[in-house]
Structure 1
């Protein structure tokens, strides 16, 4: 099982240089991956969040200022050599598939094939509005968007005729590093979304802080055989607040069938990185 960290690339005091420094430290600590989020704006009023029982929520304050994930990961790629570079998660429907596929492929080329793309439809109506995309494109639009990106990453000439996107026969590059297919891990918030993630993704990407909820997610997609990348928070249920238990927490997640887990760094990021590196060495004493 791989272990990584989510960098806090959103917030009033976010500092790009510090994010790059933390990514370098994560690599030095032996961690496998760093991850950053994608958000466009923070409305000044509560908003609907489909699939969540609470009817309206106030978006997190950190949504007000968010460093773009691909540009940030490009800087991190230039300062690192091994660590995987993940998005958690890009709201792909806000982006034209050809443009997003080319940007991810460029990052993959520059990093030597280290990109993992956590993806989702997006949910905030205000973001769909500024992107100029109907919110109703969720669902089938996600299927077609991922198919269009995979077509772009395939051999030239590229052609795609889908329900939402069309690409005329064209040569499109760059392709991903060594013509690989960048893995697409699909996030979800509903049972139908979990089934869709298992069907169209190269893997599934739950964001869970409770063991029972994670186990239920995995039960829904167990037959797919797709790998699981879990995002979770320290001290929220799955991953203990006590660093002395982190090695045991990693063992428990591996036993549940998680292939890759990463945790959100809090304000004490440097200390957390050191402790997580120690837990990883205890969990995986021999390089794999």
Structure 2
């Protein structure tokens, strides 16, 4: 099982130098990957969130300033040599598929083939509005978007004709450095989204903090890789680093292929690296 770090590229006081330094420390500590999130804006008004019955005020600290995931990983790629570079997760439908595919392929080339594309459809109505994309495209449009991106990553000439996206017969580059293309893992918030992730993605990307829900994700994945995102202290990884080894071993036994950990202020990258080395 691979173990990575969820970097803090979002927050009112994110420091670019500290962000890059944390990625360098993760590689030095022996972690396998670093991951960054995507968020376009933080509305001042409460927003409708899937599965929540009343409007929710988003956390100012987390979402008021978010460094762009691809640009951030490109800079990190120049400062690291080994760690995989993941997005957790880009709201794919906000972007034209040709543009997003080319940007990710450029990062894959510049990093030496280290990219994992964590994608999701997006959920916030306000972000869909500023992207100029109908919110109704969530769901089946993601299938078409990913198919268009894979066409771009394939051999020239590229062509795609889908229900939502069309690409005229063209040469489009760069192509990813990875021979099989960039692996796509899909995040979701609904049972239908989980089934879509297992059907369309190269892997599923659940965000879970309890073992019971995670077991359901693994069952839905039906053998495809499971790339879990979880928080320290959230129910899967306890707040004390001394107990992480047991939880990581349990995740591996359950069939998780890759786990990315969001640390709290009381634990360090080095502590996570030590737990991973002890497990191996």
C-alpha distance in structure 1 between counterparts of 2:178 and 2:216, whole Å: 37
TM superposition shift of 1:55: 2.9
TM superposition shift of 1:230: 0.2
Which residue of the partner structure matches residue 34 of structure 1? Answer: 34
C-alpha distance in structure 2 between counterparts of 1:227 and 1:218, whole Å: 9
Equivalent pair of 1:153/1:179 in contact (CA under 8 Å): no
SS of alignment partner, residue 275 of structure 2: helix
Which residue of the partner structure matches residue 249 of structure 1? Answer: 247
Match of 1:235 among 228, 233, 236: 233
**Cα RMSD for the two superposed structures:** 1.0
Equivalent pair of 2:108/2:178 in contact (CA under 8 Å): no
Q: Deviations over 1:229-248 (max 9, x none)?
A: 00000011001111111111
Equivalent pair of 2:12/2:63 in contact (CA under 8 Å): no
C-alpha distance in structure 2 between counterparts of 1:217 and 1:155, whole Å: 33
Q: Deviations over 1:217-276 (max 9, x none)?
A: 22223x3x21000000001100111111111110010111100001113335xx511110
TM superposition shift of 1:179: 4.1
Give the TM-score of the pair, scaled to structure 2. 0.97
C-alpha distance in structure 2 between counterparts of 1:162 and 1:147, whole Å: 8
SS of alignment partner, residue 25 of structure 2: helix
Equivalent pair of 1:8/1:265 in contact (CA under 8 Å): no
Equivalent pair of 2:119/2:187 in contact (CA under 8 Å): yes
SS of alignment partner, residue 164 of structure 2: coil
1:121 aligns with 2:117: no
Q: How does 1:154-233 map to 2 (within 5 A)?
A: 154-221=154-221, 223=222, 225-233=223-231
Count of residue correspondences: 279
Bigger shift: residues 173-182 or 201-210: 173-182
Which residue of the partner structure matches residue 277 of structure 2? Answer: 281
1:46 aligns with 2:46: yes
Q: Deviations over 1:97-143 (max 9, x none)?
A: 00000000000000000000110000000000000000000111100
Bigger shift: residues 55-64 or 41-50: 55-64
Structure 1 alignment gaps of length 5 or more = none
Equivalent pair of 1:154/1:179 in contact (CA under 8 Å): no
Which residue of the partner structure matches residue 59 of structure 1? Answer: 58
Q: Deviations over 1:141-199 (max 9, x none)?
A: 10000000000000000000001000000000000015431000001111111100000
Equivalent pair of 1:109/1:176 in contact (CA under 8 Å): yes
Match of 1:267 among 253, 265, 268: 265
- CA gap of 1:245–1:253, structure 2 versus 1, over 3 A, is same
Give the TM-score of the pair, scaled to structure 1. 0.95
